[in-house]
Amino acid sequence: MKWVGSNLDLVWELIVAHVGLSVPPIIIGFLLSIPLGWVANRFRISRGVILLVLGLLYTIPSLPLFIFMPLILGTNQLSSANVVVGLTIYAIALMVRSSADGLASVDDDILQAASAMGYSAWQRFWRVELPLSGPVLLAGLRVVSASTVSLATIGSVIGVTSLGYLFINGFQRNIPAEVITGIVATLLVAVVFDLLLVLLGRVLLPWNARDRTSSRQARRQAVLLAEGVS
């Protein structure tokens, strides 16, 4: 606690940097995963190709992926874009299965009813299919958020500032309290993100709160999916 007290400014600065690194991948990953998930559901061949490619991308370990980035993007080796793009790739890889499953979870009868009521395919997607897949999307997004916040610490190994700096610095100066602060702060950021997502879900998907079992089921499914068991 003593260490934290005398280094509050540093910790706060790193938390801000960490949030800056992890928020864009979560949002971009989510936005890109929806059209990809839709395409994956639409055709059998596109499903196979998309899931295979994303599965392989997810297999690439994070540190090498960050190291490959300057070659692919043409960025500086110390650029934070390397970490942001790398984390976005992971976010997409984790999220697309959830998006595809979420969109597929909407009952076919509801879709047919929407069409029968005169919704165009576009309206039906935005007003029926997407909102109803919300609980599954939310569950997937929570897993992506936790994973992104944790992985962002690795960026500090290649010189991109995040809360991981406290691990590196704490190791070099042999201060366990600094490392513990880094771990706790990372978990704290992850918990706050998770709470915000749950809150967002309450606001955007009010019907979800009434249906506890199905949102719990969705959470379970998303966690299993992320563990590679499904």
Contact string (CB under 8 A) for other proteins, positions 15-54, x = contact:
--------------------------x--x--x-------
Residues 122-181 that bind other proteins (CB under 8 A): 142-143, 146-147, 149-150, 153-154, 156-159, 163-164, 166-168, 170-171, 174, 176, 179-180
> Residue 14 in contact with residue 185, Cβ under 8 Å?
yes
Comparing CB distances to other proteins, the nearer of 88 and 147 is 147
- Smallest gap from residue 5 Cβ to other proteins (A): 20
Using CB under 8 A, which of the segments 26-34, 128-136, 195-203, 212-220 binds other proteins? 212-220
Using CB under 8 A, which of the segments 30-38, 67-75, 125-133, 201-209 binds other proteins? 67-75
Residues that bind other proteins (CB under 8 A): 41, 44, 47, 55-56, 59-65, 67-68, 71, 77, 104-105, 107-109, 142-143, 146-147, 149-150, 153-154, 156-159, 163-164, 166-168, 170-171, 174, 176, 179-180, 182-183, 186-187, 190-191, 194, 216, 219-220, 223-224, 226-230
